[in-house]
Amino acid sequence: MFCQSRNSRDEGSSAAAQSPSGLTPPTDALYWTQYPVWYPIFRKHAPKSSLINISTTQPEFVRWMETDSITLPVGSGPSTAPPKISSIPSPSASVASDESDSDDDDDEDEEEPVRLEQLDSAIRKVLEKYDGGPVFPKLNWSAPQDAAFMLAGNALQCRHPEDVYLVLKSSEFASRDIEQLQHLASAPASSHLQLVLKQWASFNRSYEFRVFVRENLLIAISQRDATFYPHLQPVSLQEELCDQIYDFWYDVVRPLSRPASSLANGDGNKESRPKFPLKDYVMDVYISKDRSRVWIVDFNPWLPRTDPLLFDYDELESISRESLLRPPSPEEDPNEDEDSLLRLAISSPAQPPQTSGESSQDPRPRPWCEEDVVFRVLDDQRMQSNSATYSSNMVPHDLVDFAKATTSAGGNPGSQGLSVDQVVEQWNKTILAQEAQQEQDFVQISISVRGCQSQEASCRTAPDASVLM
């Protein structure tokens, strides 16, 4: 079977005349793509995960996330014993004396240490459940990928509650998730902020793919990591990967997918309702190293907030319009019932089987199938970005270390409890003090060098001692 891997598709004039129906309402799309909602449905096809309901476990977590403070909660580190409190690097005496008044003001603004004991305990239980191994954190929709640089190795391997808090607090993605919950007021069921902790697993990033489903048809697949991989270039391998992903979607996800509007029918039989009633969504999958299994990594709403990666949404809509020009096969038409299928089978004349040498004379276009899926990987090394992912969110490691020392990582009693602005102010003071100290050291070195040079000149002009004798 062949999946298209070309960069563009030729559209007939009729394609522009037919457009896909309206997208799934944003509230439905956001509700059903929450990890706590879809994970129970596809549990056996997703990595092991544990869910912690923030609303019932530690609602104070939300308030802490919304503050400007970067002080980590008390007792969230490797040990519950209070560690030594790190002091702020002190500038030179002259600079410190000039800023004494502002330092007094900062002391008045210090915050009370934050304690999230119930959430700490819940996170530690999950870590023990996974034999003390690291976990990968995320909230309802997003993982704090933009804050991975805060941990060693630029990976979201969290071994203690403080690691989880640090990356979530530093992430714009996590903040967006908290804000987004307010858009779900009219969703089929109420939603609560939940912390997802996935058991850590090393993925080969070249085998992560993003799958685009529009109108219950898989129309496109994109490589997730925007890196040029030579081993992905053979067309034969691309065909195999495309077929494997399509078959998985067709056999596992598609049977549970129906239009979200079906949820509005309160009179329907609960058992007959679809378990995953979305017709438009973006699914992230991972193919195992031995290519024996496909795993669901995440579901994303078909909304601008979801990155189309190697496509753009206008192009995806164009592909979708083309797919709608194809007649659905009986087994793929979600609107057909058994009676209509039976009547169609009785009224349709029998067609003789075709031999391999015969060509079809049927003028009707064939149904949309996996041969039509656009499969795309980065095929030119010059197109890959050399900058680090989410580089715009990063700050120097020196500043991160300074912030940890300034706020006494762990948020224990006596910590400074400074806000982000106050940490930056202290950082700038320290840099100015260091520059002043370096300038002073340079002056002293210059004086010493000039003194040595003068002494050397005096030695050269002095009379020889042997002559005086």
* Per-residue pLDDT tens digits for 242-268: 999 999 999 999 999 864 444 444 444
Instruction: Check residue 274 and give its pLDDT.
Output: 78
Asked whether residue 182 falls in the same domain as residue 310, the answer is no
Kind of pairing between the strands at 194-199 and 135-138: antiparallel
Q: Let me know whether 185 and 230 are in one domain.
A: no
Q: What is the spatial distance between Cα 11 and Cα 188, in angstroms, rounded to a whole number?
A: 38
pLDDT value for 191:
83
CA distance 139 to 36: 9
| Residue found by looking up tokens 């969230």 in the block | 76
Predicted local distance difference test score (pLDDT) of residue 70: 75
Q: What is the pLDDT of residue 105?
A: 53
* For helices 161-169 and 117-129, angle between their N-to-C axes, nearest 10 degrees: 110
Name the residue among 95, 155, 140 with its Cα closest to residue 440: 95
Q: Is residue 123 part of a domain?
A: yes
> Quick check: 260 and 189 in contact, CB under 8 A?
no
Neighbours of 258 (CB within 10 A): 19
The per-residue pLDDT for 383 is 74
Sheet-wide strand order for 49-53: 49-53, 194-199, 135-138
Judgement on whether residues 311 and 173 belong to the same structural domain of the protein: no
Is residue 175 located within the same domain as residue 217?
A: no
442 found inside a domain: no
Q: Rounded to whole angstroms, what are the CA distances from 207 to 40, 203, 224, 244, 401?
A: 24, 8, 8, 12, 34
Q: How far apart are CA 458 and CA 451, in angstroms?
A: 11
Instruction: Tell me whether residue 124 is in a domain.
Output: yes
Q: Are residues 139 and 234 in the same domain?
A: no
Q: How many domains does the chain have?
A: 2
- Helix runs in 269-411, H state only: 313-324, 338-347, 397-406
- Segments forming the whole domain that contains residue 262: 1-26+202-328+366-376
pTM for this one?
Answer: 0.68
User: Quick one: pLDDT at residue 384?
Assistant: 74
Same domain assignment for residues 258 and 126: no
Same domain, 209 and 159: no
Residue 133 has, within 13 A of its CA and on its CB side, a CA count of 13
Residue 343 neighbours by CB distance under 10 Å: 10
Rounded-to-integer distance, Cα 281 and Cα 41, Å? 15
d(CA 72, CA 110): 14
Contact 196, 137 (CB under 8 A): yes
The angle at the Cα of 266, spanning 264 to 268, to the nearest 5 degrees, equals 105
| 180 occurs within a structural domain | yes
**214 has which bridge partners?**
217
Residues near 270 by beta carbon (within 8 Å), at least 6 away in sequence: none
pLDDT, position 458: 58
Phi, psi dihedral angles at 196 (to 5 degrees)? -105, 125
Contacts of 215 (CB under 8 A, 6+ apart): 20, 21, 279, 280, 320, 323, 324
In a shared domain, residues 166 and 244:
no
CA distances from 276 to 55, 128, 262, 299, 324 (A): 24, 32, 11, 11, 22
**Same domain (yes/no): 216, 161:** no
Three-state DSSP at 122 gives helix
**Longest C-alpha distance within the chain, in Å?**
135
Read off the tokens for 56: 């019932």
The answer to whether residues 287 and 415 belong to one domain is no
In a domain, 221, yes or no: yes
Q: Kindly state whether residue 270 falls inside one of the protein's structural domains.
A: yes
Kindly state whether residues 61 and 185 are assigned to the same domain. Answer: yes
The span from the CA of 181 to the CA of 193, in Å, is 7
What's the length of the chain?
Answer: 469
Sign of torsion, CA 223 229 235 240? negative
Residue 69: partners with Cβ closer than 8 Å, 6 or more residues away: 111, 114, 417, 418, 419, 420
> Is 167 inside a domain boundary?
yes
User: What is the distance between the alpha carbons of residues 309 and 223, in angstroms, rounded to a whole number?
Assistant: 8
The pLDDT value recorded for residue 324 is 78
Low-confidence ranges of the chain (pLDDT < 50): 1-2, 6-18, 81-99, 108, 259-268, 333-365, 387-388, 391-397, 407-415, 464-469
How many whole angstroms from its chain centre is CA 162? 19
Same domain, 317 and 285: yes
Tell me whether residue 79 is in a domain: yes
Which residue type is seen at 348? S
